A and B are shown apart, each in its own frame.
Chain A
């Protein structure tokens, strides 16, 4: 690569060929404002249509202003980023965007996190000189995502991530000119489309156009209801990100403070989804070993590789996109749903209460969980195993509503018995974590030997598609790992073509796994935040006394007192499920 020398704001800069002016300026501390631009190399996501025109700057010798995000540096280029002409152009462009944007900042779900709001503040916009007609679109409220497309600024991030990274293809730019907007086909509601609710569009949307459904009020109503015993479960990835909502460094572990806050909010029992993660390992691990041994004994009807099934967005993805393969993934429910089933049977019996008296609330880094708990197979005569699923962001809002000074809380412990978990449970929160937890237990169950080193570094990392071979005392197991539905599709196509050399595959819909879920505090495209959260998860695992799921005493107690053994009839009834052939085409009412 040859080197390019140029001048930006009278400062000399040296960059590799192909670098854009935006990146060159950033490398010497000049942050040129931009809006539609977002780049996350590790997740091979790059959105720079060059459409918002906020990042225009002056290049000597050029007739009009150049978009910094798209224009590559050339030798001897002279760039000026804040001449009067540039500032006037930038302010006018932002005024134009604001002129077709509802001025509802005070009540908007994205207020305080909105990139357009921040831009308007930085530029000191006090008046919109060019007002006129505003575009209006049909509202759309799905179980997980709310679309208020009047707030759409056509940055195309959601369209790019849904089509290129997730390959689900729900969204596309529609119409032309002033009425253009990004929408599903026929501007139908999301819950009629093939949307998997992975929430990545919400994670990248710069404004309040795409936000999560808010169930905080429903939780408050349950808490104040004297007849109800309110039980809460917190997902592994929440404890690695909740702190960011209160100004803490990304990657700060706030497990103890989270539990303390939940107790102060009035939850009767504060439990941990990690417990159900260990339970999932028991069920899924056994199912995998059962298939593996039958396969090795020559039973051709056995379907390998086994695919993990704990991510609801991934489940809805293969139900829509690969309906003919719905018998390949593990039949085990996700930890959220296993927890609900156990809470409303085993635990309800312990408290000798009816299941209807219990309200199970889950705190998840994810939007698809909101949809998952509403699936009819996860309820018994109308009473859902998990009543409400809220996101990390919603929990932060609840804590603020209760005037709790989160940062100064002392640590507290989860309640027993469903609060106890192992290191294997907590690493569910990151890509590669579920399969590592499964391997830790399956190794010992299969070989009967003690597993000395529990860390399997070869399963870890951030690359979209990863392969690893694990040695089960002589028997080589090929493991595949994919995060991001686009990568999942590649593995699926191999499996469909019978070319897949894997025995087991772990798939998570969100890039980075659950730490990058659609319900987490906004990362605004900064991938380092995801990496820091991932390290925090592995730190929590390392700090745990017990590191393998089958050594969790309360899991052993659950089996001895209630379930009997993994894959027992009761286990099947409570902890396993089946999938549906969802037509690829939407059902238009």
Chain B
């Protein structure tokens, strides 16, 4: 795991986040959420600083980061694409849409395109089953996506 150098100001902001939650180990998940928003992902060094500030073992923090699918130790793409694989979307063909994205971006689920522009991941359920199949790119939600639309959507970015 290559040692990632975190810019000093970011390290400072990270400690401020921990202090905002008054270094309470019970707030670990809230701290990790804000840390991931700050840096886009949670490399090893970030986890060590959080562990130190919250006075818990680094192994404990790593155990929590690897448990929840929301946290990622790899940088996500500038535009993170998430395909909803909930039942309603699955029944309405989400798998075909996923295949199309994989084919066009030539990456597997969980990977990021070499240029760092797109990353592909599956989501359990966005909760917009009326628009099945649903995909989200960043905050934007696309409904009733068919494999043919994939090209059009990608060209928007």
Q: Which residues of A contact B (CB under 8 A)?
A: 163, 169-176, 183-186, 188, 193, 584-586, 588-589
| Chain B residues engaging chain A, CB cutoff 8 angstroms | 1, 3, 44, 47-48, 51-52, 56-63, 66-69
Min CB distance A52 to B, Å, is 19
Query: How many inter-chain residue pairs (CB < 8 Å) link A and B?
Result: 55
Given contacts A169-B60, A170-B57, A186-B1, 17 further A-B contacts (CB under 8 A): A163-B57, A172-B62, A172-B63, A174-B59, A174-B67, A176-B68, A176-B69, A183-B59, A185-B44, A185-B47, A185-B48, A186-B47, A188-B1, A584-B52, A585-B52, A586-B48, A589-B3
Report the Cα distance A586→B45, complex, angstroms: 10
Q: Does the CB pair B66–A171 fall under 8 Å? A: no
- Asked, given contacts A588-B3, A588-B44, whether A185 binds B52 with beta carbons under 8 Å apart, the answer is no
Given the known A-B contacts A185-B47, A585-B52, are A172 and B57 also in contact in the complex, defined by CB atoms under 8 Å?
yes
B69 and chain A: residue at smallest CB distance: A176
Docked CA distance A186–B3 (Å)? 12
Closest to B67 in A: A176
In the complex, chain A residues whose CB is within 8 Å of the CB of B48: 185, 585-586
Contact of B67 among A169, A175, A585, A586 (CB under 8 A): A175
18 pairs, CB–CB < 8 Å, chain A vs chain B:
A169-B57, A169-B59, A170-B57, A171-B59, A172-B59, A173-B63, A176-B66, A185-B58, A185-B62, A186-B62, A188-B1, A584-B52, A585-B48, A586-B48, A586-B58, A588-B1, A588-B44, A589-B3
Contacts of A589 in B (CB 8 A): 3
Taking a contact as CB atoms under 8 Å apart, the answer to whether A185 and B59 are in contact is yes
Question: Which of A169, A173, A176, A185 is most buried by chain B, counting CB atoms within 10 A of its CB?
Answer: A185
Q: Which of A163, A174, A586 contacts B66 (CB 8 A)?
A: A174
Instruction: Give 9 nearest A-B pairs by CB, closest first.
Output: A169-B57, A172-B63, A172-B59, A185-B58, A185-B62, A185-B59, A174-B66, A175-B66, A176-B67
Closest Cβ neighbor of B48 among chain A residues: A585
CB-CB < 8 A to A186: which residues of B?
Answer: 1, 44, 47, 58, 62
Chain A residue numbers with a CB within 8 Å of B66 are: 174-176
If A175-B66, A175-B67, A176-B67 touch, whether A184 touches B52 (CB-CB below 8 Å) is no
Q: How far is the CA of A173 from the CA of B59 in the complex (A)?
A: 8
Given contacts A186-B44, A188-B1, contact A174 B52 (CB under 8 A): no
Q: Which residues of chain A are within 8 angstroms of B3 by Cβ–Cβ distance?
A: 588-589
CA distance A585 to B53 in the complex (A): 12
Tell me, in angstroms, the Cα distance from A169 to B51 when the chains sit together. Answer: 11
Minimum Cβ distance to chain B for residue A528 (Å): 32
Q: Return B84 CB to nearest CB of chain A, in Å.
A: 20
Q: Which residues of B contact A171 (CB under 8 A)?
A: 59
Residue among A170, A186, A193, A584 with the highest chain B CB neighbour number at 10 A: A186
Cα-based distance from A183 to B69 in the complex (angstroms): 19
Instruction: State whether B63 touches A585 (Cβ < 8 A).
Output: no
CB distance from B54 to the nearest CB of A (A): 12
List of B residues within 8 angstroms of A586 by Cβ: 48, 58
Q: In the docked arrangement, what's the CA distance between A185 and B45, Å?
A: 11
Tell me the bound Cα distance from A133 to B61 in angstroms: 28
Within the complex, the shortest CB–CB distance from B86 to chain A, in Å, comes to 18
Q: Tell whether, in the assembled complex, residue A174 and residue B63 are in contact, meaning their CB atoms are under 8 Å apart.
A: yes
Query: What are the residues of chain B within 8 A of A174 when measuring CB–CB?
Result: 59, 62-63, 66-67
Bound CA span A188–B45, Å: 13
Taking a contact as CB atoms closer than 8 A, the residue among B47, B59, B67, B69 that contacts A184 in the complex is B59
B144 to chain A, nearest CB (A): 31
The answer, among A173, A185, A188, for a CB contact under 8 Å with B61, is A185
How distant is B37 from chain A, measured CB to nearest CB, in Å?
22
Contact of B59 among A170, A175, A584, A588 (CB under 8 A): A170
| A-chain residues with CB within 8 Å of residue B51 when the two chains form the complex | 185
Contacts of B68 in A (CB 8 A): 176
Bound complex: CA A170 to CA B59 (Å): 6
Instruction: Tell me whether B44 and A172 are in contact (CB under 8 A).
Output: no
Query: In the complex, how many angstroms separate the beta carbon of B67 from the nearest chain A beta carbon?
Result: 5
Most buried by A among B48, B51, B66, B68: B66
Bound CA span A188–B48, Å: 13
Give chain A nearest CB distance to B62 CB in angstroms.
4
| A184–B61 alpha-carbon span in the complex (Å) | 11
> B1 touching A172 by the CB < 8 A rule?
no
CA distance A171 to B62 in the complex (A): 10
Which residues of chain A are within 8 angstroms of B63 by Cβ–Cβ distance?
Answer: 172-174
CB distance from B113 to the nearest CB of A (A): 25
Name, among B44, B51, B56, B58, the residue most crowded by chain A CB atoms within 10 Å (CB to CB): B58
Complex formed: what's the CA distance from A188 to B47 in Å?
A: 14
- Which residue of chain A is the closest to B47 with respect to CB atoms? A185
- Nearest-CB residue, chain A, relative to B60: A172
What's the least CB distance linking A194 to chain B, in Å?
8
Bound Cα distance A589, B48 (Å): 14
C-alpha spacing A173/B3, complex, angstroms: 23
Within the complex, what minimum Cβ distance (angstroms) separates A187 from chain B?
8
A586 to B66, CA, bound (A): 19
Residues of B within 8 A of A585 (CB): 48, 52, 58
CB-defined contacts of A176 to chain B, threshold 8 Å:
66-69
Q: How far is the CA of A170 from the CA of B62 in the complex (A)?
A: 11
A32 to B69, CA, bound (A): 38
Alpha-carbon distance between A585 and B60 when the two chains are bound, in angstroms: 13
Q: Which residue of B lies closest to A171 (CB)?
A: B59
